[in-house]
Amino acid sequence: MIITKIETIRVGQFSDLIFVQVHTDTGLIGLGETWYGASTVESAIHDHFGPLLIGRDPAEIERHWQTMFRLSDHAGYGGAELRAISALDVALWDIKGQVLQLPIFEILGGGTRHRIKVYNTLGVFCDITEGYDVWKDPVEVAQSLLDEGITGMKMSPTDFIARETDGQILFKDDLDWVLRPLREIRDKLGMAIEVANDAHAKWNLPTALRIVREMEPLRPMWHEELISPLNEEAHVRLQDATSTPIAAAERLMTRYQHRRFIESPAARITMPDLTWTGGISEVKKIGILASAHQMPIAPHDCVGPVNMFACAHIAMSTPNVMIMEYNRATHRGWYGDFIEPNFVVEDGYLMAPTEPGLGTRLKASVKDRPDATVRMSNESREPWLMSNKRYTYPPPELQDEFINSTPRRKSGSEAVYYD
């Protein structure tokens, strides 16, 4: 089997969302996705990684990941390149599952569970509050989740006041005001529902220290990105100041950045975003690394629907996944316009996908939308960084002499990477 075409699909309605479909000569198609800077990711896929994969065997996922990462790392990994790698990695796992006629989690070691607890994020964009006003009706929102068996939620109460001062100074009365919804939930519902605090990295360290101390009596499930995880020593000081676990972080990329927050006392929960940090292949490794430090992982979501399926396979096969982020409004809303089947949440649990591969397909109607941008690559090509033309020394006749200079080289060995 070889990869024949790489296709990207993005839509005007969600300008950050991009799907990738990896086509094979057997007709099997793998689906992946990422979020943010969709047109930049599109370029990374068609200019760099797509032509690298076309003509190659989709089964060699680890080899492809390493080659794509090495290409990206040459200019500093992360950003759109890594999001492109993440989307392609998910699509390759989807193909492997379809070939083997197994859900991906069965290939990742099998099910350690067949459902995972979810918490509902009440974020700040994409109309994800289902018409509830979390400022006015916090208890009503929380109760509606509890009624469905969802016993955890996430709020971002301090984002509003951080904007005003760029997170540089915090006033006590402002903090008291924005914490009113959470206090109301605790007053009326006690600890019936866990509430996580996400601050989207908007604060500096002194204000973050003040927030964790003020929130201590409210017993949040965790604090997430009160400060940006640019410096693990600052995070150590933050974690030392509170008994609440610090979660880090959706903006850490690959095992190499997560390692520093897993091995140090900078955080107590690992929170990778699968579609940003390297895909299924990388989050599986991050989970294993965290398990060696007796640390749970809680995959990040609040992006597109394919991420939920990909994270479900991680959650089913990785014992130290503690909970999965989820948004009830997008699940019941626009996700169904793009994928079929949709994932299943029952009694507060995300259920294991049952179909081979990822367990869902992009609806054919998505490409027909008037706001859709569809782009296809079908030519194999070496990206310039990997072109042999760059390696002009020694001259070809001496390269041949070098290659043939010892019996070991004559016997040859298969290169791990393409270069």
Minimum CB–partner distance for residue 127 and Mg ion (Å): 18
Residue 263 vs residues 31, 241, 256, 290, 293: alpha-carbon distances, Å: 33, 19, 11, 8, 7
At its nearest, how many Å lie between Mg ion and the CB of residue 193?
Answer: 18
* Spatial distance between the Cα atoms of 245 and 161, rounded to a whole number of angstroms: 23
Q: 94 or 224: whose CB is closer to Mg ion?
A: 224
Among all residues, whose Cβ is closest to Mg ion? 198
Give me the least distance between CB of 221 and Mg ion, in Å please: 13
Could you tell me the CA-to-CA distances from 319 to 231, 272, 290, 316, 386 in Å, in that order? 28, 16, 11, 8, 38
Q: Which is nearer to Mg ion, 49 or 326 (CB)?
A: 326
CB 81 within 8 A of CB 48: yes
Beta bridge partners of 376: 7
Minimum distance of Mg ion from residue 263's CB (angstroms) = 22
- Kindly state the smallest distance separating residue 299's Cβ from Mg ion, in Å: 11
Give min distance, CB of 227 to Mg ion, in A.
13
Q: Between 273 and 282, whose beta carbon lies closer to Mg ion? A: 273
Q: Which of 322, 326, 350, 348 is nearest to 145 (CA)?
A: 348
CA distance 376 to 308: 25
Residue closer to Mg ion, measured from CB, 161 or 352: 161
Q: Which is nearer to Mg ion, 34 or 377 (CB)?
A: 34
| Phi, psi values for residue 102, rounded to 5° | -135, 145
Cα gap 191→71, rounded to integer Å? 49
Of 33 and 198, nearer to Mg ion (C-beta) is: 198
Q: Residue 228 or residue 377: which is nearer to Mg ion going by CB?
A: 228
Q: Which residues, 6 or more positions from 397, have their beta carbon under 8 angstroms from its beta carbon?
A: none
- Residue 295 makes CB contacts below 8 A (sequence gap 6+) with 262, 268, 269, 270, 320
Which of residues 303 and 386 has its CB atom nearest to Mg ion in the complex? 303
In whole angstroms, the minimum distance from the beta carbon of 302 to Mg ion comes to 7
Least CB distance to Mg ion at residue 198 (A) = 4
Burial class (CB in 10 A: 0-12, 13-18, 19+), 415: exposed
Q: What letters, b where the CB count within 10 A reaches 16 and e where it falls short, cover 328-361?
A: bbbbeebbeebbeeebebeebbbebbeebbbbbb
Which residues in this chain contact Mg ion in the complex, by CB under 5 A? Answer: 198, 224
Taking the complex as a whole, the smallest distance from the CB of residue 123 to Mg ion amounts, in Å, to: 8
**Strands (DSSP E) found in 225-310:** 246-248, 269-270
Q: Which is nearer to Mg ion, 31 or 122 (by Cβ)? A: 122
